[in-house]
Structure formats: structure tokens, C-alpha cells
Structure 1
């Protein structure tokens, strides 16, 4: 049976010191540990330990570097979240526009348009839950006005309150014969329906990490993405190897590729570069960043003419 008593912040500081972590100010460490849990910060000092079982730190490991890693991770999540917001709003708009015109405003609950009926049932259940939590006056007014209509509100009302995860699942589950699936992919420089679903799935997953304040620095990301061999817009010269898909860099590249289309003139490159300048102790390799990544056409330019 697992038995472990809780420790005070003073005991935590003493324990860290006994394991070799340099702490220059006990009061400062006490402040951080009283606002950021020992367990959460442990995700950042784990890489500083040479003996993972006994939790012994490498020489010159400093508590201030742990806090810097934590702050860097927080700020890169905010940058990514801001980027994903723009992509999410664009995807929502395109799904509503293209598919409502190709079919009707209730296309998203038309089982004939989707490959996996069971998956659609789950997605619709999530959408139902999302709508039930919403306090939006437009939705409330719709339900009051159309009590006898058992359908969801039309796409332009329903999907405005649908999560990125549900949107990406709706798109990925569409049959390949649906013309809008290819049209939306082309709008995003993804050529056809083959590639975009995995991009959206990756972004949805990373968005969840951001929304739940989970660590992105030095995290191995599950799953892979399908990459175009010859994208129509600026991309990176060397396509990452399969094992590199676990790192954040290739996923950042996909977001930047989409962002250059959704928001030309964006400042993602300069903001990301400023973060590395602000936190020089952060190893870019922990994110899978390539050397001179800023010089890649993808990161250097916004969108090819």
C-alpha cells in the first residue's frame, strides 16, 4: 500500500537542498512552492537529476533555473494558445460556410455524410454537452422560439459553441466524396483531405495541453502527422524524421504554416525568438528546434505570393 505523508514547504526546500539543488533564497523558494506545487515543479527539475531513482541533482543545478523553465513553458503555451485561437476560428468559419452551402445548415448531424457513425454519435454527444453548458443568449432564444424543432440549432449557431476537438473530428470523419472536405484543405494549403485531419488532430491535442496548463517543454507528444512532400506555400527544407514528431517543433511548423494563411503578417516568429532570448537557459533541443530555424522560409516569410 502506498503511504506517504505530506510535507511542508520548508521540508521540501530542505529535501531539495539535500539532493543537491542550489537554492539561493529560502524565502523566494517558499513563495514559489506555496503557489506552484512541488509535484508540478518536479516536471521541470527532473531533467536536472543525474540519478532519477534517488533524485540526486547534477552539479550547478539551480532552483532559479527551474523557475525559468516553468515560466518559459507558461509563456510558450500562451503564445501557442493565441495561435490556435486564430486557426480555430478560421476552421469553424470554413466548416459552417462550405458545408452549409454544399448541403444544409444541419449537415453535421447528417449520418450520410460521415464515414464512422459511432464516432459521429460521440461527437454529437460532446456537442450536445457543450451547448447545454452554454449560457449564450442567442442559443437560449433559439431553443425558446423553436421548441418543436428537435434538431440542433443551425451550424452557424451550434458550431460557434463547439470545441476545436469536436470541429477537427467532424472534419476528419467527413466522407472523401464530400467536396467541401477538399475545398477546405486547399484553402489551408494542404492540397487535399489526406493531410489536414492529422494536422487538426495534433493541434487539438496541443490545445488541450495548453487549456489544462500542462507542460509542453521537453514533452514527448504521442501520434504523428502526415506531411506534404511539396507544399504549395513556404515550408521547411528538411522534413523531420519519424522520431522527431514526438517533439513540439514539427507541430509548431504546422501551426505556423496554417497561421501564415489565416493571419498573414503575424508575429509568431519574433515572439518565439524573443522567448528564447528571454530565457537563455532553455535548451531549444528539448522542443526539437532545428538550428537556425528562424532562417527557414516558413518562419522567415508570411505567405508566398
Structure 2
């Protein structure tokens, strides 16, 4: 573990400290166990990143397709097609910054050369981050949000919150942050009928991710997640991840 910063590694022992003395570990805790929790966390991040990609790509497509068909390929430049004029203005500025940073990419060079720098929405949306994508969705007109997500049979009010949480989780994963024992800074809103677990735990992020996957993706995700949990069950504690007792049935609902 010489290649891992001590501060980063030591954080994985936080859930293993004594409750009445946070300077001491519980009895029987070994360096090997902390190392295994660290390795488990690496693999969990990788698994989540893989399935977050499905969701990110699909929402880029859904938003650009619907908005362009309703308002035209350049309708995203008009503030009247969004809820907040000020937030829309910020989006356009950040979009231009991203286009400038991506100027060496072939599709950007192509559109600058052939279309004089005019980027249709389905091209522009590809250069923004997941975080920016969630903000774009949040700033869409209410009926547009409703139409874009109607096939999910989940209110756009909740999906708006879920995309925000998932973009935060993706950022944690992309920067190799710790998931194990983490309390979510940006917790997802949950319908009353689905509040059977703590929405500030990693399981809450896993739950909303599962609700946005298609059935084949979901089945593969649960199989992979189950295999990972079983591989490290000697070292991890389900409670430190927020997993309720019947977690599989919750993900399959």
C-alpha cells in the first residue's frame, strides 16, 4: 500500500473505531481488513461508474432529442425555453467554455468548420459534464421535464433530485473518493412509499441508480453487485453502506 496516501487510506478505518474513543480501533481490527475494505471500495466505484454511464448517456439523448424536436436544433439558446433566465445564461457561458476546451475534438472542429460554430443541441450537450446535464434538466420547463421522463413512471420532481445526486456520486467516483461509510452530501428525494431506508447512505444512491436502469441493465447490475458484496462480506458491514435487510427486492421493485 506504499502507493496510497496515508490520509486517504486511514479514512477507511473510520467506521472501525470505538464509539466511546475515536482514537482507538475496535478489538480484533487488522490492517488486512482495512486494506480489504479499501479494495472493495475501489471495485464498488468502478461498478457504479459503469452503470452511471448508461444513465448519463440516455439522459443526454432524451433531453437533446425532445428539446430539439420541440424548439429546433438551436432552441437551447433561447431563455424563453427554460425556467430561469439567469441559470440559462450561466449554462450558455459554461457551455462555451467547454466547447473552447474541446476545440481539438473532431466533432467540435467539424461543426466549427462546416457550420461556423453553430452547435445543434444534440452536439452541444455532449461536451457538458453530468453535473451540468442535471442542471439543464432542472431548468427545463415543467411540461418538458414531464414528457422527457414519462416512460420511467416516476415524477420529474424526483428524477430532478436523483440526477443531482447521481452526478455528485459520479464526481466522487471519478476523483477516487471514499464511498464506504459515506453520508451523502446531496441526498436524493424519495417518495413516501419508498422511504424504508436512510436516503443519506450509499445504498440510497444505488437504489435511485437502479430505478433509472432498464431491466437488462438492472439484472446485470444486481448480479455484479451481489457478487462483489459476497466476495468481501467477511470484511465489510452492510450497515456502513446503508443496505437494508431485503435490499435485492428493493432494487428489483
Structure 2 gaps, min length 5: none
Matched with 1:92 is 60
**Which of 89, 98, 106 matches 1:137?**
106
Moved more, 181-190 or 274-283: 181-190
Counterpart for residue 11 of structure 2: 43
Preserved contact between residue 102 and residue 180 of structure 1 (Cα < 8 Å): no
Is the Cα contact below 8 Å between 1:259 and 1:266 reproduced in 2?
Answer: no
* Displacement after TM superposition at 1:77 (Å): 0.7
Q: Structure 1 length normalisation: TM-score?
A: 0.76
- Mind listing any 5+ residue stretches in structure 1 that lack a counterpart? 1-31, 231-237
Alignment check: 8 A CA contact 2:172 2:178 kept: yes
Which of the numbers 176, 185, 197 marks the counterpart of 2:160?
197
Separation in structure 2 between the aligned mates of residue 73 and residue 110 of structure 1, nearest angstrom? 43
Q: Secondary structure at the match of 1:275?
A: helix
Match of 1:181 in 2: 145
For the residues of structure 2 that align with 1:175 and 1:102, how far apart are their CA atoms? 12
* Whole-angstrom CA distance in 1 between matches of 2:209 and 2:34: 28
1:269 aligns to what?
A: 222
List structure 1 segments (4+ residues) > 6 angstroms apart after TM superposition. none
Q: Which has the higher contact order (CA 8 A, sep 6+)?
A: 2
Number of the residue aligned with 2:232: 279
CA contact (8 A) 2:49 2:170 kept: yes
1:167-188 deviation per Cα after TM superposition (whole angstroms, max 9, x unaligned)? 1111111122xx4321112122
Q: Where is the helix percentage greater, Structure 1 or Structure 2?
A: 2
Asked if 1:169 is matched to 2:125, the reply is: no
1:212 match: 175
1:12-58 CA deviation, whole Å, 9 max, x = no partner? xxxxxxxxxxxxxxxxxxxx0x2111000111112223232xx3322
Change in 2 beyond 3 A, CA 1:265/1:292: closer
2:245 aligned with 1:291: yes
1:116 aligns with 2:72: no
* Cα distance in 1 between the residues matched to 2:59 and 2:114: 28
Distance 1:79 1:228 in 2: 26
- Residue 195 of structure 2: aligned partner: 239
Q: Of 58, 75, 80, which aligns to 1:107?
A: 75
Query: Is residue 2:203 matched to residue 1:249?
Result: yes
Assess if the C-alpha contact under 8 Å between 2:190 and 2:199 holds in 1. Answer: no
Report the Cα offset of residue 105 of structure 1: 1.0
Distance 2:192 2:147 in 1: 19
RMSD: 1.9
- Residue deviations 1:143-194, cap 9 Å, x none? 12333x5x5x111211122211111111111122xx432111212221x432
Do 1:269 and 1:294's aligned partners in 2 also have CA atoms closer than 8 Å? yes
Matched residue, 1:25 = none
Which is further off, 90-99 or 180-189? 180-189
The within-5 A match list for 1:214-233 is: 214-229=177-192
